[in-house]
Amino acid sequence: MSARINKGILWFLFIVAFFLFLGFQYSRGPWRGFYYANRSFEGKPILSRSRRLLFDWGEETPFTELLTSGFSAQWDTCLRVKKPETVSFSFGSYSSATFYMDGELVAFSSGSNLFNDQIVQRDLFPGMHRLQVNFIKNRRLGAVRLAARSDSSRDVLVSRNLVYPDACREERAP
């Protein structure tokens, strides 16, 4: 009887551990973030992962190690496109920010005291497209957002379309 109970407890613990592992893997998200305690992207960064690029820190910072008077951050991910389509990117921020796709500048936010939001359309070919956003908090408020939609999808930047940057080296867009 006790062997049967022990076996049941072991199976229960295994199942709990398995689901906890899946939860932590999923919660990390496809966006890789590097946060620097200065405005020049220098020094040892604080690394993070997130599901979306949608942050509004107000007058605060995402980590206590960063200065409220100014910090810099860089995020990247890869977007998997299955068929040719036109995608509308919505990019905005308080403070200075730039949005790159496949190494080319797509949008720039000057860092005014108003949230600067831009809509930019791009024709994308099938394959992987590297997305990168650079952000410098040099104003009182800090916020940055990147969203996208196409004719076939209300939200292009969802987890099923995004790939963690290290995994997208194999496939590249033409």
Q: Which residues contact 105 (CB under 8 A, 6 or more apart)?
A: 98, 99
pLDDT of residue 30: 92
CATH (domain of 48):
2.60.120.260
Tens-binned pLDDT, residue by residue, of the chain (174 aa): 555 666 666 555 555 554 444 444 334 789 999 999 999 999 999 999 999 999 998 888 888 888 777 899 999 999 999 999 999 999 989 888 999 999 999 999 876 666 778 899 999 999 999 999 999 987 678 889 999 988 777 777 777 788 888 777 644 444
Domain-located, residue 174: no
pLDDT at position 26, please?
39
Judge whether 21 lies within some domain.
Answer: no
SS3 101: strand
pTM for the model stands at 0.78
Q: How many domains does the chain have?
A: 1
Domain assignment of residue 19, yes or no: no
Question: Which residue, among 114, 97, 96, 115, has the nearest Cα to 106 in the 3D structure?
Answer: 97
Please report the sign of the dihedral spanned by the C-alpha atoms of residue 164, residue 165, residue 167, residue 171: positive
The Cα–Cα gap between 119 and 140 comes to: 24
Other CB atoms within a 10 A radius of the CB of residue 81 amount to 17
Q: Is residue 12 part of a domain?
A: no
